[in-house]
Amino acid sequence: MTGDTVKGMSFTGFPEAALDFYDDLEIDNSKYFWEQHKETYKTAVAEPMAALTDALADEFGAAKLFRPYRDVRFSKDKTPYKTHQGAFVAVSAATGYYIQIGAPGVRVGAGFYEATPARLAEIRKAIDHDRHGPELVRTVRKLTKAGWEVDGQRLKTAPRGYDADHPRIEWLRHKSLFVGKDYGFDEVIHTADLVDRVRKDWRATKPLVEWIAAHSAT
């Protein structure tokens, strides 16, 4: 968890102050601003996010709330703070369910966000498989028809060992694969009903998450 959150707190929605906080942070991403507004971060962002994920833990498992500090060691961008708060429920390595809040509102997602070379090789082997590969394609296409966006890092060419004309080459090129959906500023993000909305959407992505977990044990 990030910071000291209140255990057992009921989720009642993200306050407007959460969006205002990130609007202002994008303008003034400085230690001075953070020190002046860290209580707002705690009460309007971190505590509600912890309460939201706690409400979903009975079905999906415990979430990790990401720290708000950026790792700037190898980045040209030296701004110290992330401009969103994310939380992740891991089902297997870097695979699971995601939610974040920032200036653009709330976004949910699911899939695998990175993989070791060995794990990626397993996933590609499953995509290449005559039965398992089409299962993944059907699963993702069902999600896109329901309004989900497909994302992830991709190779520009075919991965080593696979032909460029492979029937599932667009999927084999993925180095990460996840889907996302924006709630934006929908009124639901400010209410307790957000729990049910996220629960419904994460449930919809379960076949994708379970497919990835089943075919990448490494």
Q: How confident is the model at residue 217 (pLDDT cuts 50, 70, 90)?
A: confident
CA distance to 5, 112, 130, 147, 192, per residue, from 105 (Å) = 21, 22, 40, 17, 16
Average pLDDT over residues 67-84: 93
C-alpha span between 19 and 36 (Å, rounded): 16
pLDDT > 90: percent of the chain: 93
Instruction: Please determine, looking at this structure, whether the domain spanning 16-214 carries the CATH number 3.30.930.20.
Output: yes
**Range list of H helices, 41-193:** 47-60, 117-128, 132-145, 169-172
pTM, two decimal places: 0.93
Arithmetic mean of pLDDT over the chain: 95
Do 137 and 168 meet the contact criterion of CB atoms below 8 Å apart? Answer: yes
β partners of residue 90: 96
Average pLDDT over residues 126-138: 98
Q: How confident is the model at residue 72 (pLDDT cuts 50, 70, 90)?
A: confident
Q: How confident is the model at residue 1 (pLDDT cuts 50, 70, 90)?
A: very low
Q: How confident is the model at residue 2 (pLDDT cuts 50, 70, 90)?
A: very low
Do 198 and 52 meet the contact criterion of CB atoms below 8 Å apart? Answer: yes
* pLDDT the model gives residue 7: 57
Q: Which secondary-structure segment (H or E) carries 26? A: helix 16-27
Angle, helix 31-40 to helix 16-27, in steps of 10 degrees = 180
* pLDDT the model gives residue 8: 63
Closest CA to 132 of 213, 51, 43: 213
Condensed to tens digits (0 to 9), the pLDDT of residues 168-181 reads 999 999 999 999 99
C-alpha span between 2 and 48 (Å, rounded): 11
* pLDDT the model gives residue 73: 87
Break the chain into its structural domains and give their ranges. Answer: 16-214
